[in-house]
Chains A and B, each alone.
Chain A
Amino acid sequence: MKNWKLAAWLCASVALPVMAHAEELEVTHWWTSGGEAAAVGELAKAFDASGDTWKDGAIAGSGGVARPIIISRIMGGDPMGATQLNHGRDAEELIAAGLLQDITDVAEAEGWRDIIKPISLLDACTVDGKVYCAPINIHSWQWMWLSNKAFADAGVPVPANWDEFVADREALEKAGKIPLAMGQQSWQSNGAFGVIAVAIGGPDLWKKINVDKDAEAARSPEMTKVFEQADIARQLSAKSTVQDWNQATNMVITGEAGAQIMGDWAQGEFAVAGQVAGKDYTCLPGLGVNKIISTGGDAFYFPVNEDPEVTAAQKRLASLIVSKEVQVAFNSKKGSLPIRGDVDLSTVNDCTKQGLEILASGNILPDGTMTLSADTRTQLDDLLTEFWSTPSMTVADVQEKYASIIETAE
């Protein structure tokens, strides 16, 4: 009996100090595709290595499926340890309701304001001077990915900008290629349209519409040009019938399609397929017309928890996310850009380098998730997917509807 007690006491005295620094944190996210899961793996590995335990709560199906689950868990008073959310306007109300953990002390202790670049990422996490999320990466939509194989098969050089690409249409079609791969989901139509809008209409017009919500700018003749190019893109992608974005990316990887307009996360898929930037595929930021990138991205939020141990673990995770090592490991797997300018990027590929150069030159735009509410974005998704798959819908028609959504946008 005595021995047993002694043993228990010994065990406890050994285990407790460790316990104090080892918490199991459940983390919800929707990163389940090949490149994404590999990137999360890096983050989890780092968290486990620091003594805590990462409990994975992956839900496939992106924001639409994961979001009600995340919000319900937080509202139900039984929240997860940390959760992915698009930063920007998604979390505003949860913060206002006092449901998300304030991590300002971590941000200040580690000087996030000095290391995070561009600072708009931290601003998106900041409400009333307090920091509520840890940004993990920069994603930009403004990319077109071209299959070198498809153009070689068609016997034409890989185009250097949008107009050249459009001119290659016949050659591609003759070689049995679909010029432009497009998934059928509505956010893809809206995203690709946004890329065309920035490239053809220029950043100022884009800002007028998306930041100032100027409906007159949306009705302007410059915008008509944008819609005309979108109309061409719609014709180029008419034969593409896949659903998911990475199925479309796969068409570019296999050389079935000439190109895809998609954010830089597509690069993760090229990496998983073992393709090399510059050799197997080519990237054109801003469609090769306006070299500019938007700086959206993902961030982790930490729901308020009653257990101080959990709160401490949440803060440890927050600081880990921003750390140099995790930034490099995570972003090289995910195909996104790191959120700090001071990391060693000698290992990154050609396309990421281009992205970093543009980032350094300051040619950046805020992302749609930061400027428009989810509601407005969903309305635009609906409109543009209708446009994209309804050949009878005219440019004038879609432009007017677009402008009226911008008119009521928040």
Chain B
Amino acid sequence: MTQRPTRLFRNASSKLALVPMITITLVVFVGCTLWTVLYSFTKSKSLPRLDFNGLDNYARLWKTSRWLVSIENIAIYGVLSMVLSLTLGFLLAALLDQKIRFEDTFRTILLYPFALSFIVTGLVWQWILNPDFGVQHVVRGLGFTSFEFDPLYNPEIVIYGILIAGLWQGTGLIMCIMLAGLRGIDEDIWKAARVDGIPMWKTYLYVVIPMMRPVFITAIVLIAAGIVKVYDLVVAQTSGGPGIASEVPAKYVYDYMFRGQNLGQGFAASTMMMLCVVIVLIPWAYLEFGGKKRG
């Protein structure tokens, strides 16, 4: 290996290394997605069958009140979860980055819920929010007898009850990623900012955050992927209830595919979910990855 590797050899080696990823991308993600889209135009019930019925599945989907409720819920949950995860994650990371004592302890406390599954998270919060022996019961026991806090039993606010649990489980990881990003910022930048007399919040806002762009992208993708897929948490916490007030799209997909044994309907719903993702993601991906090429 004394001579420089030839261009061909270099490319071959790196391409070889990408073979598993490319295969998986093409076969599983592209292949299975196309398969799903194709079968969403069919009358498949229990088993996939190529018996086409045009747009019937989609027409029915958008007439179903449960699907509309699901969309509304995921929009509320998604926006709030994204905004709150990012801000809380960043603020907590910034706090931990102040050279404080017990950093290990605090970081562990914030991160540990992520080790627990959504099923568990849902179960615990279902319990804490249960009006008969949870928070409401305790506060009333303290003398505030008119205190009311039963998010899981009130159709109007049940989605916020789920949000509380979702944030509890997920913010720790975002905080950790942000912390890793903050630690990557050069000390000199802080020194320079201090010398120039720029207040700390301004340094964060105008210097540090723009520098942490890749970190934010990772965090956003992690959060967004979690939002689209939110399913277990709802099942464990409310089973979509009360009534259909806390239904989410992934649960609709699952229920109609397996409980309703209507694969066509489930595939149509999941195709709509993917379509939304693609509409948001493609322009962003183009801007993010399309522009700069690296030699």
Contact = CB atoms under 8 A, between A and B. Distances in A.
Contacts of A388: 243
A221 interface: no
Interface stretch (B105-113, B174-182, B184-192, B234-242): B234-242
A379 interface: yes
Nearest to A391: B155
A389 B243 contact: yes
Interface residues of B, number: 31
B241 A389 contact: yes
B46 A389 contact: no
Contacts of B254: 64
A64 B258 contact: yes
A378 B255 contact: yes
B58 interface: no
A390 B47 CA distance: 35
A184 interface: yes
A186 B241 CA distance: 8
A307 interface: no
A20 to B, nearest CB: 35
A280 interface: no
Interface in B207-260: 238-245, 254-260
A221 B206 CA distance: 68
Contacts, number: 85
Contacts of B132: 241
A378 B66 CA distance: 11
Contacts of B244: 186, 382, 385-386
B46 A378 contact: no
Nearest to A388: B243
Contact of B239 (A97, A184, A374): A184
A386 B245 CA distance: 8
A170 to B, nearest CB: 23
Given A94-B46, A184-B239, A63 B259 contact: yes
A243 B123 CA distance: 12
Contact of B155 (A64, A185, A390): A390
Given A94-B46, A375-B45, A385-B244, A64 B66 contact: no
Nearest to B67: A382
Interface residues of A, number: 31
B271 interface: no
A184 B254 CA distance: 19
Nearest to A65: B258
A148 to B, nearest CB: 25
B42 interface: no
B47 A94 contact: yes
A375 B256 contact: yes
Given A375-B261, A375-B262, A97 B47 contact: yes
A153 interface: no
Contacts of A374: 259-262
B265 interface: yes
Interface in A261-291: none
A377 interface: yes
Contact of B259 (A67, A93, A387): A67
Interface of B: 45-47, 49, 60, 64-66, 130-132, 153, 155, 238-245, 254-262, 265
Chain A to chain B: the 6 pairs with minimum beta-carbon distance, closest first: A378-B260, A389-B243, A389-B242, A375-B262, A93-B46, A374-B261
14 contacts: A67-B261, A68-B257, A68-B258, A71-B258, A184-B239, A184-B241, A184-B242, A185-B241, A241-B132, A375-B262, A379-B64, A385-B243, A388-B243, A401-B65
Given A68-B258, A93-B49, A389-B242, 10 more contacts: A94-B47, A185-B241, A186-B239, A243-B239, A374-B259, A375-B261, A377-B260, A378-B259, A390-B243, A390-B245
